[in-house]
């Protein structure tokens, strides 16, 4: 009776931030491959693109899973858009579509995202973020390689880079990170695959084509 829930967020057209080339198309392609090839029912998918991806909608979409998801269910969250890092607070953020430049209070902080994930009683939660400074999702003392067997609860994250700017890719293509992720999902023929295997593939693939370094670890 377990369900696989999917939340996909993609933002190209910001009101006050530079326009991105491929965030929306990357998000749509991730949703497409997960619903067509993997066990994600379109009824259990929430997708927020461009003007839909306000701070309120992002926060409420995440928060609703606390009540909706049971201990048997799984959740995958995919975010593609701008990211920001506040050195004063050592805090990373997602930037909603309606956020004004230099207004940190309008962003979605990693600490809030992680707090919500902590309160979602899923079997497995996987957070994938393709944004600048997305590696700030992980604490500096994060454990290294850990493989959770399926019967144990897990909370994993995969970020497109460390505390660094990351590439959005040329217009009409994919970001280097999304390209690697989609490549793995499309080519995989195994019925079950460890997150650690996906992480390793993406890290190697991205490092071949760009200067950024993806980071995947337990949250």
The Cα–Cα gap between 71 and 44 comes to 16
Q: What is the DSSP letter of 87?
A: T
Helical packing angle, 110-118 and 55-68, nearest 10°:
20
Give the count of beta carbons closer than 10 Å to the beta carbon of residue 47.
19
The encoded tokens of residue 162 equal 């460390």
The Cα–Cα gap between 38 and 53 comes to 25
Position 139 pLDDT exceeds 70: no
Q: Based on the number of CB atoms within 10 Å of its own CB, is 54 exposed (0-12), middle (13-18) or buried (19 or more)?
A: middle
The number of angstroms, rounded, from the C-alpha of 96 to the middle of its chain's C-alpha atoms is 14
pLDDT in tens, 107-129: 999 999 999 999 999 999 999 99
| Confidence band for 93, pLDDT divided at 50, 70 and 90 | very high
- The mean pLDDT value of the chain amounts to 90
Contact yes or no for 25/80 (Cβ under 8 A): no
pLDDT in tens, 177-208: 999 999 999 999 998 888 989 999 999 999 88
Average pLDDT over residues 138-154: 53
The Cα–Cα gap between 155 and 117 comes to 8
Supply the pLDDT for residue 73. Answer: 97
Supply the pLDDT for residue 65. Answer: 98
CA-based max dimension of the chain: 46
Evaluate if pTM is beyond 0.85: no
Position 144 pLDDT exceeds 50: no
């Amino acid at each position: 009776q377990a369900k696989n829930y999917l939340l996909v967020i993609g933002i190209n057209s910001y009101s006050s931030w530079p326009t991105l080339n491929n965030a929306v198309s990357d998000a749509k392609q991730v949703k497409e491959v997960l619903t067509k090839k993997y066990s994600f029912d379109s009824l259990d998918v929430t997708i927020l693109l461009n003007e839909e991806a306000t701070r309120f909608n992002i926060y409420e979409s995440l928060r609703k899973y606390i009540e909706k998801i049971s201990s048997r269910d799984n959740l995958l969250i995919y975010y593609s858009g701008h990211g920001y890092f506040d050195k004063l607070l050592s805090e990373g953020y997602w930037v909603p579509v309606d956020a004004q430049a230099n207004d940190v209070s309008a962003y979605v902080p990693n600490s809030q995202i992680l707090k919500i994930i902590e309160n979602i009683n899923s079997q497995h939660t996987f957070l994938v973020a393709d944004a600048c400074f997305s590696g700030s999702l992980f604490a500096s003392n994060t454990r290294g390689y850990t493989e959770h067997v399926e019967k144990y609860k897990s909370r994993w994250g995969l970020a497109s880079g460390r505390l660094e700017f990351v590439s959005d890719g040329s217009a009409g293509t994919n970001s280097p990170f999304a390209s690697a992720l989609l490549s793995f999902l499309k080519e995989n023929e195994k019925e079950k695959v460890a997150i650690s295997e996906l992480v390793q593939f993406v890290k190697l693939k991205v490092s071949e084509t760009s200067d950024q370094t993806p980071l995947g670890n337990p949250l």
